[in-house]
Structure 1
Amino acid sequence: MDRVPVVIVGGGPVGLAAALELARHGVRSLLLERHDATTWHPKARNLNTRTMEIARGWGTAVHDALVAVNLPRAWMSRIIYTRTLDGEELGRVSTGGFSGPGRDVSPEMPLLSSQDVFEPILRRGAEASGLAELRFGHEVEGLESGGTGEDDRVVLIVRERASGLAYRVEADYAIAADGADSGVRAQLGIELDGPRGLGHFVNVYFRADLDPWTAHRPAVLFWVASDDTRGVFQPLDARGRWLCQIAYDGRAETFARYDAERCVAWIRAAVGAPRVVPEILSIGTWTMNATVARQLVRGRVLLAGDAAHQLPPTGGFGVNTGVQDVHNFAWKLALVHAGVAAPALLDTYDTERRPVARYNCDRSLENSLMVARINAAASGESGARLSPKDAVAASRRYGNFLGMELGFHYESAAVVPDGSEREPGADEVIDYVPSARPGHRAPHLWLERAGERCSTLDLFARGFTLLTGPAGARWTEAAADARARLGVALDARAIGAEGEWTDPSGGFSELYGIGEDGAVLVRPDGHVAFRAAEAATSPTERLSSALGQVLSRAQG
């Protein structure tokens, strides 16, 4: 029987990200994927700004390979709505969520490519880590142990599809990233909350020269809405690779009629030009749901990605919510596996991530309804309340979601509140207000050391990080004591004129909400765990107590 610390079920982008994150934290894993290779169909396209920040931790080779396959920037700045590509333009919306917030907010920008391109990059990175074994063509057929709180291990029944050979895998924990129809979730009996079957779509991957209708007005999405055609064109590389989505009634017999010939006819009608000659590369189907699992943790099993939540694709939050799930639980698994944290720390994965998944799901569904309103207005449906132009203008949240992407926060036992109030922007979806309030993503700020420029985000590595003001010597001493007392990895970094890292903008203290002798404790996932505006009394006890709470263990 194979024995590993963590077994990952599913080798899509979320499963591969789990292997990468666990390797970053020094944890060995075994990934089992029933398909023989990574996906051949584009599927997801967007790795957003927060996900690309996470990718910085996967090493230069993976990060730079992802950046290299990005769409040209001009194609990321707007969504265009038309009747057909050759027909009337109904309107356009600038899309800061897809083009990125700028280097003052993040050192990263989003990636727009396609899943068939970026999945192999993640796979190569995981294989190169030396800590992840990937077995494609191996299907998990059952969970024999690990689904209850009484189980002391996970045991999976696995079959190698090519040979038919069955075997067992034993692990301390399992990650179920096995998709929307997750067999692991079904065996655990975990229900999904939220509407299902909201729409059915034919997904067509094709190659064609659409430059006459798009090159002069590049966009991340071209929606079409006429009496005959409703759908969307998605550029994959700005060199002729496209994805389009066609609504249908969800019946198998209807989908069977969408052969290459019919898809070509739809593309020509949606472009409005019969001379277009598309080369159909693949045809798939999917159903739109807006569901979240009622539990993300059951026994020794953690759900992630589509196994945990299924989001409408409008906004591109599906894969990103999954990758950020992984980023949340990987460090927790590592500390529990090492005996540094108590198993109760893993419960905070559910507490922290399920509300975020529900929020992302609901906002993505709202985006989908915005598109439906535009389609209704364009078609002159009797129930349409807005003109096409006004309906497009009302869809501004779709494509502009920085507050939603970077402004979410956690409330759990792994966060120590400081009594401060959250400060949302004018529109909590669109507007991001940087904050180092406990539970929030620690804000990006450019720092310098010996002429080297660095983002604050790059200081958050495998362990905890304590950022102090320039007069934070007492906190540095407290960090040394906490390391010895709790056996936890903890780096202390003084920021400011007299500190290890200089602050060229002079904005660190204000941005992080502390004085010169204050401190902020940042978790390995870059979220603030604890903040003290000043040293005041007993920084050693305060820091050790905060860390003990985060680790779900008594102070020792």
Structure 2
Amino acid sequence: MTETPVLICGGGLVGLSTAVLLAGRGVRPLVVERHPGTSLLPKGRGLNVRSMEIYGAAGLAGALAAAPQSVLTRCTEVIRARDLCAPVESRSARQAPGNLAGLSPAKPLMVDQNVVEPVLRERARQLGAQLEFGTELLGLDQDASGVTARLLDRDSGRERELRARYLVAADGHRSPVREALGIGVDRIGRSRQFVNIPFRADLSGLLAGHRTALAYLGRPVPDTMLTRLDNEETWVLMVPFDGATAAEEVFTRERCAHSVRAALGADVDVELLSLNPGEPTLVQSWELSSWVARRYRAGRVLLAGDAAHVMAPAGGLGGNTGVQDAHNVAWKLSLVVRGLAGDALLDSYELERRPVALVTRDYCAQRQESRTSGDGDRSMAVDPLSMSLGYHQFSAAVRAPGTSGAITPASELWGAPGTRVAHAVLRGRDGEISTLDLCAGGFCLLAAADGEKWVRAARAAAEERGLPLSAGRLDKEWEDIGGVAAATLRLSGEQALLLRPDGYVCWRSEEGDDPGRALPEVLDTVLAREGLVTASHNERSASDVR
């Protein structure tokens, strides 16, 4: 039977992100995806600043910046009206991200998901991940040591079994894996079925020069939405329907054309398009809902992305939250698979990520309600940037008390345990870097100028455990330009802090701590190493796990 350290079910945004992040840390996973290729639709329209920090550390910033940008980059207006020819009841514009230079080394990108996924696929392939598109997971069984998966090659019809130590289910909101495991979801609000009707039409005359990205319309039925697809003349109309009958049976070609013209309020030339070239189906249904899975882990299976949570589209946080899931689970899985951390470290994934998803779910639902009611985003208590950068993550993998899902304003981040480390610019041997870059290769012990004893203790503890860890002092190994990092991170004298591989602060030293005792205890607790046999760096091979 074929074996793999990690099987990833789902080759979309989150599954491919998980593959890239695992392979980049020396664990080569197998990705199976039932569809023959990546998404043909721009399901997500942008990558927020936190996602770009993650992708930047994975070596993807250049490729994504060079990729074709979304048509929404040039179109920022959101309107509400009965139809596109009727008087506009409300008009607002998507806010620019502003100057992030003091808050992050990255910049958000307006790039569509169907453009992002091929970039991720190629990067995963370069790093050695095995990718099998057109392969469906038929079922799974698990025991104390791993998962046995039954796979189907959809072209040949051949079935086979595969053994994996862990399975990451990134198989979408209908997740067969989640359903098979009997994991329920916690919903808020009511769910509504929508049908997507893609079409091509020149609407420049109806828009009268306005760069409309999204319209909330009252026709053909209330709460209809209209947005652009991938260029100036391709659109998708999203129409609510009861869902009792299959969308393709209800929305015939005639009804689709009638619905589009009713929404436009004019008899214009419309060409109906197929969402899947080569297939006759004109429409695709989806559910606007808000829920979070009640569990993120069941034995050797972990849920990520839409398999774990579904957000309302307002705010664009659904896919980005999934990317952050991938980031969190990948560094933990890589250390567990390589024998550097205990299996219990994976319990921290749910404890950290599920509360963040609950807060994000509620935020997006409120934002969706505000938009559809015509209030725009004026009533939101938390700004989008803080939702992206300021969420707290607490578990046994953070040596401090706190509440996962709490939000700190992005401008007030300073390096408290359980939060993303504040961005500051340092100068290293190869030029300027961000404090976030310090942990790209693993853990990082960052000390103030007089904290040499912490640096020595960190290196000794890492060597004993075979753990990827860098260590250095401000204004010694890393030049603190203008003293900004020390001031921002509140590091002085002999103080030190420990960064996890995801850029989160997991510990800060206290006066009187003994480095030789404190750091080994911190690392062993964070990594759930109780019961693991300590091995030297030479005994633990740094080669890839395949």
Moved more, 486-495 or 19-28: 486-495
Match of 2:467? 488
- Tell me: CA distance 1:83–1:433, structure 2 relative to 1, closer, same or farther (3 Å): farther
Unmatched segments (≥5 aa) in structure 2: 276-282, 535-546
AA in 2 matched with 1:463: G
2:493 matched to 1:511?
no
CA offset digits 1:356-394 (Å, max 9, x no partner): 1111112211122223422xxxxxxxxxxxxxxxx3364
Match of 1:522? 499
Alignment of 1:325-404 (within 5 A): 325-374=325-374, 391-392=375-376, 394-396=378-380, 400-404=383-387
- Tell me: CA distance 1:471–1:181, structure 2 relative to 1, closer, same or farther (3 Å): same
Aligned partners of 1:236 and 1:261: how far apart in 2?
A: 21
Does the 8 Å contact 2:183/2:295 carry over to 1? Answer: yes
Match of 1:501? 478
Aligned partners of 1:506 and 1:422: how far apart in 2?
A: 31
1:424 Cα offset (Å): 5.6
1:509 Cα offset (Å): 2.0
Aligned partners of 2:363 and 2:402: how far apart in 1?
A: 28
Q: Please provide the CA RMSD for this pair.
A: 2.9
Alignment of 1:27-42 (within 5 A): 27-42=27-42
1:311 Cα offset (Å): 1.8
Aligned partners of 1:314 and 1:370: how far apart in 2?
A: 9
Aligned partners of 1:423 and 1:229: how far apart in 2?
A: 35
Match of 2:544? none
Q: Secondary structure at the match of 1:233?
A: strand
Aligned partners of 2:157 and 2:405: how far apart in 1?
A: 55
Match of 2:538? none
Moved more, 523-532 or 238-247: 238-247
2:115 matched to 1:117?
yes
AA in 2 matched with 1:223: Y
- Give the structure-2-normalised TM-score: 0.87
Unmatched segments (≥5 aa) in structure 1: 375-390
1:269 Cα offset (Å): 3.5
AA in 2 matched with 1:128: Q
Does the 8 Å contact 2:391/2:406 carry over to 1? Answer: no
- Tell me: CA distance 1:228–1:356, structure 2 relative to 1, closer, same or farther (3 Å): closer
- Give the structure-1-normalised TM-score: 0.86
Percent identical? 38
- Tell me: CA distance 1:207–1:504, structure 2 relative to 1, closer, same or farther (3 Å): farther
1:86 Cα offset (Å): 3.9
Match of 1:209? 202
2:177 matched to 1:189?
no
1:152 Cα offset (Å): 1.2
Match of 1:380? none
2:63 matched to 1:64?
yes
CA offset digits 1:204-236 (Å, max 9, x no partner): 333333344558443553333468554333334
CA offset digits 1:420-464 (Å, max 9, x no partner): 999966xx6xx6532311111112223334683322222221310
- Tell me: CA distance 1:26–1:201, structure 2 relative to 1, closer, same or farther (3 Å): same
Does the 8 Å contact 1:85/1:271 carry over to 2? Answer: yes
Match of 1:266? 259
Does the 8 Å contact 1:41/1:205 carry over to 2? Answer: no
Does the 8 Å contact 2:371/2:377 carry over to 1? Answer: no
Aligned partners of 1:128 and 1:287: how far apart in 2?
A: 35
Match of 1:3? 3
- Tell me: CA distance 1:81–1:103, structure 2 relative to 1, closer, same or farther (3 Å): farther
Matched residue count: 525
Does the 8 Å contact 1:418/1:437 carry over to 2? Answer: no
427, 433, 436: which one pairs with 1:454? Answer: 433
1:195 Cα offset (Å): 4.2
Match of 1:145? 142
Does the 8 Å contact 2:197/2:272 carry over to 1? Answer: no
1:502 Cα offset (Å): 2.8
1:19 Cα offset (Å): 0.8
CA offset digits 1:71-90 (Å, max 9, x no partner): 37853755443444444333
Aligned partners of 2:118 and 2:127: how far apart in 1?
A: 14
1:117 Cα offset (Å): 2.2
Q: Secondary structure at the match of 1:40?
A: coil
- Tell me: CA distance 1:10–1:227, structure 2 relative to 1, closer, same or farther (3 Å): closer
Does the 8 Å contact 2:498/2:508 carry over to 1? Answer: yes
